[in-house]
Amino acid sequence: MGVILPRKTFFSFHYVPDAWRAWNVRNSWVVRDTDKKSRGFFDNSVFEASKKEGDDALKTFLRKGLENTSVTCVLAGTNTWSRRWVRYEIARSIIKGNGLLTVYIHGVQNNEKETSAKGANPLAQMGLYRTNRGILLAEWKGGKWVAYADYTLAIPEGDLWFAAPKTNSVVQLSTHCLSYDFTGQNGRKDIGGWIETAAGLAGR
């Protein structure tokens, strides 16, 4: 008889403006089923302490946060797409083989009952391309695609759960991943299904 393990999901978000929104979204998922567990909800003081130790310490901290997760849910606010450490969490999720999805949370109220402007899809601001060294990560920066700076090694094609790019033209991650609007698409009820769909696409 098989053992059904709880789905562990890593939530990636822009802390300062969106922490309240992110907590509300995460809690609407967790409270429905006590078996569901999330990662990525670090105390900001711990995050800042790791950042002060330097980039390598923070990267280690974030990689540990992703351990034992099978899905990464990017909670997109106004400027989430441009945040360096959100991009790193996305990159490590690809390397790890996690399912990925974007959930727009700009329509969720913060603690002052304010919504925010919809931002770009963070998964459309990162992509993969083929070189003679293998499959590499790219990021949209300064109005153009550039090699992703925080992870420069080739990713084995067999580690990808979707088809690898065939040329040196960047294929956005959003090509392979679904996105949803938490407020506009009844996320309070349906986010669990969205996460399961992302897991299924990745074979997780």
pLDDT at 32: 57
pLDDT at 159: 94
CATH class, domain 8-124+174-201, is alpha beta
CB < 8 Å & 24+ apart, contacts of 42-51 = 44/15, 44/19, 47/15
pLDDT at 146: 98
What global pTM score does this model have? Answer: 0.90
Q: What is the pLDDT of residues 61-105, one digit of tens each?
A: 889 888 889 999 999 999 999 999 999 999 999 999 999 999 999
Q: What is the pLDDT of residues 60-73, one digit of tens each?
A: 988 988 888 999 99
Q: What is the pLDDT of residues 138-172, one digit of tens each?
A: 999 999 999 999 999 999 999 999 999 999 999 99
What confidence tier does 1 reach under pLDDT thresholds 50, 70, 90?
very low
